[in-house]
Chains A and B, each alone.
Chain A
């Protein structure tokens, strides 16, 4: 078990460019979450997958954001036409199969991708 992996760790991009982040969850976890965290704030929920199905998407997420999880394995988060307000740490988390187990064991977070839009 290598934990939750995120790539890249850091991304600097110019405003207006598109960026894509990748997350590889813990292999036996079928739930995958994307959160965004800005300085001094707690993580904010963006979207959630159970297997390959995207079951919930936050109202915070504009149409410029899209996430996929093909075949229920890794996930990608794409931001199109980036804006300076998109600068944040993007965190991926995964959790174990059942809601009851999730209640007990919580999430495992990846190391995050820090995005800076200049």
Chain B
């Protein structure tokens, strides 16, 4: 079983809609959670971090964490074509010095 699971997509949404990206993880000791955006051929770029249950908002992005369900999500409001990318979920386990990444969900925002 992979540590971090994501639906590979592609997820297609129209411009202006809300995109919802989901991630589940297997290790209950996980403490920190990140969403990275990766454009084709480029390296991952950190867009959100969360480590407490609940919601965290930053501009058009909202990260949601539910540790009991081992589930983390990313909502993108007012989606723009420039949001079209692969979104990687990363999970850190306390006192372990590395993050585990999911395979990513490809998002297409159609004009």
Q: Chain A residues near B104 (CB, 8 Å)?
A: 40-42
Q: Chain B residues near A41 (CB, 8 Å)?
A: 103-104
A80: CB under 8 A from chain B? no
Q: CB within 8 A of A108: which of B46, B90, B98?
A: B46
Cβ–Cβ contact A91 & B43, under 8 A: yes
A interface residue count range (under 10 / 10 to 19 / 20 to 34 / 35 or more): 20 to 34
Interface residues of B in 53-109 (CB under 8 A from A): 88, 90, 92, 94-95, 97-104
CB distance from A4 to the nearest CB of B (A): 9
B49: CB under 8 A from chain A? yes
B4: CB under 8 A from chain A? yes
Q: Chain B residues near A111 (CB, 8 Å)?
A: 42-43
Q: Chain A residues near B43 (CB, 8 Å)?
A: 89, 91, 109-112
Interface residues, chain B, with chain A CB atoms under 8 Å away = 4, 6, 8, 31-32, 34, 36, 42-46, 49, 51, 88, 90, 92, 94-95, 97-104
Interface residues, chain A, with chain B CB atoms under 8 Å away = 31, 33, 35, 40-45, 48, 50, 55-56, 89, 91, 99, 102-112
